[in-house]
Amino acid sequence: MRLDIVTIFPDYLEPLNVSLVGKARARGLIDVRVHDLRQWTHDRHHTVDDTPYGGGPGMVMKPDPWGEALDSVLDSGQGEPVIVVPTPSGRPFTQELAVRLAEKPWLIFAPARYEGIDRRVIEEYDARPDVLEVLEVSIGDYVLAGGEAPVLVMVEAVARLLPGVLGNAESHRDDSFAPGAMAQLLEGPVYTKPPEWRGRAVPEVLLSGHHGKVARWRRDEALARTSRHRPELIEGADPEIFDKQDRAV
Ligand code: SAM
């Protein structure tokens, strides 16, 4: 998978060199290219923002550098990319969307600063659905100072789904929100050795070696935790995802 990120703070993306994503890059599983938006400015001060039409506080990112940057990145590759524009006013970033993005060969991220990017940039690329897709995406109902942290979040969520990135390909199957049985559930608690720590024992069933009982216990814990922390997930869930024993919980 190829990932291009256009930003005015390339250093902000340094964490993409460490841990899981860094290793995936080193192994050639993902090709990450970070671009400084200011290289597509032509004035002495490398200006990327200007005052908003209609007045009001804050600045807006100018369309010219963004247009040149995105054209240049698009010209440098082949295939049909998805341009991901982080914005609090976008569609929610979910595990389902991460799974969808993980199937794409090429993602281009356009994280903004200030009050966001001049709307015409999004319209310009959104008007080319035959060759690319534009997705405006929010990572949550709060406002950050810029889109770089959302890019780090999205890249990590997508990268760990790519074949070969996680040591055990099965390990995201039981994650909270994973498509399938966990789609509307949060994962329950996990334990490791020692069997007793500060007088607290690991639940008996996990030491039983009985796979059926362990699976049932994990499912019950996931249901209980979801009802406690995110009841709306269970209330809005497709009844098909529940089995007979779930209904009794
Ligand atoms: N005035 C904008 C609004 O209320 O929607 C907020 C702009 S915010 C200060 C600057 C940039 O940070 C946004 O354009 C976006 O790139 C990024 N950003 C902030 N919060 C975000 C969120 N929850 N999800 C995705 N991106 C976000």
Q: What is the pLDDT of residues 97-118, one digit of tens each?
A: 999 999 999 999 999 999 999 9
Q: Is residue 223 domain-shared with residue 139, that is, in the same domain?
A: no
Q: Dump pLDDT digits (tens) for 114-140.
A: 999 999 999 999 999 999 999 999 999
Q: How far is CA 32 from CA 25, 175, 182, 211, in A?
A: 7, 25, 30, 40
φ, ψ of residue 40 in degrees (nearest 5): -105, 25
Catalytic residues: 88, 115, 160, 175
Q: How far is the CA of 2 from the centre of ligand 1 (A)?
A: 24
> Which structure tokens are listed for 122?
């999004």
Total tally of structural domains belonging to the chain? 2
248 vs 245: which has the higher pLDDT: 245
Band of pLDDT at residue 172, cut at 50, 70 and 90: confident
Q: Is residue 131 domain-shared with residue 190, that is, in the same domain?
A: no
Please indicate, yes or no, if residue 166 is contained in any of the structural domains. Answer: no
Q: Is residue 54 domain-shared with residue 128, that is, in the same domain?
A: yes
Whether 134 has a binding-site annotation, put simply, is no
Q: Is residue 130 domain-shared with residue 9, that is, in the same domain?
A: yes
Can you tell me the mean pLDDT for 221-238?
Answer: 94
Mutate which of 7, 62, 66, 87 for ligand 1? The one with the most ligand atoms within 8 Å of its CB, which is 87
Q: Ligand 1 in contact with 122 (CB < 6 A)?
A: no
Band of pLDDT at residue 246, cut at 50, 70 and 90: confident
Q: Is residue 40 domain-shared with residue 151, that is, in the same domain?
A: yes
Q: Is residue 102 domain-shared with residue 204, that is, in the same domain?
A: no
Task: Encode burial over 135-145: b for 16+ CB neighbours within 10 A, e otherwise.
Answer: bbbbbeeeeee
Q: Is residue 128 domain-shared with residue 204, that is, in the same domain?
A: no
Q: What's the mean pLDDT when you consider all of the chain?
A: 95
Please indicate, yes or no, if residue 168 is contained in any of the structural domains. Answer: no
Please indicate, yes or no, if residue 167 is contained in any of the structural domains. Answer: no
Residue 223: give its domain's CATH number.
Answer: 1.10.1270.20
> Which structure tokens are listed for 95?
């595990």
pLDDT at 209 over 90: yes
Q: Is residue 35 domain-shared with residue 129, that is, in the same domain?
A: yes
3-state DSSP call for residue 4?
A: strand
Band of pLDDT at residue 70, cut at 50, 70 and 90: very high
Query: 40: which residues sit within 8 A by CB, 6+ positions away?
Result: 64, 65, 66, 68, 69, 72
The per-residue pLDDT for 238 is 85
pLDDT at 247 over 80: no
The per-residue pLDDT for 249 is 56
Q: How far is the CA of 4 from the centre of ligand 1 (A)?
A: 19
The interface predicted TM-score of the complex, written ipTM, equals 0.99
Whether 140 has a binding-site annotation, put simply, is yes
Domain span including residue 229: 173-248
Please indicate, yes or no, if residue 210 is contained in any of the structural domains. Answer: yes
From 43-47, 68-72, 98-102, 233-237, the region with the lowest mean pLDDT: 233-237
Q: How far is CA 236 from CA 24, 184, 241, in A?
A: 36, 8, 11
Domain termination site, one of 136, 159, 182: 159
Q: Is residue 182 domain-shared with residue 228, that is, in the same domain?
A: yes
Residue 149: give its domain's CATH number.
Answer: 3.40.1280.10
Q: How far is the CA of 50 from the centre of ligand 1 (A)?
A: 17
Q: Is residue 69 domain-shared with residue 35, that is, in the same domain?
A: yes
Q: Is residue 184 domain-shared with residue 129, that is, in the same domain?
A: no
Length of the chain, in residues? 249
Domain termination site, one of 109, 130, 159: 159
Please indicate, yes or no, if residue 134 is contained in any of the structural domains. Answer: yes
Domain termination site, one of 110, 130, 159: 159
The per-residue pLDDT for 171 is 80
Q: Is residue 209 domain-shared with residue 140, that is, in the same domain?
A: no
Q: How far is CA 16 from CA 33, 85, 98, 122, 235, in A?
A: 10, 18, 17, 26, 37
How many alpha carbons lie under 13 Å from residue 32 in its C-beta half-sphere?
Answer: 24
The per-residue pLDDT for 248 is 63
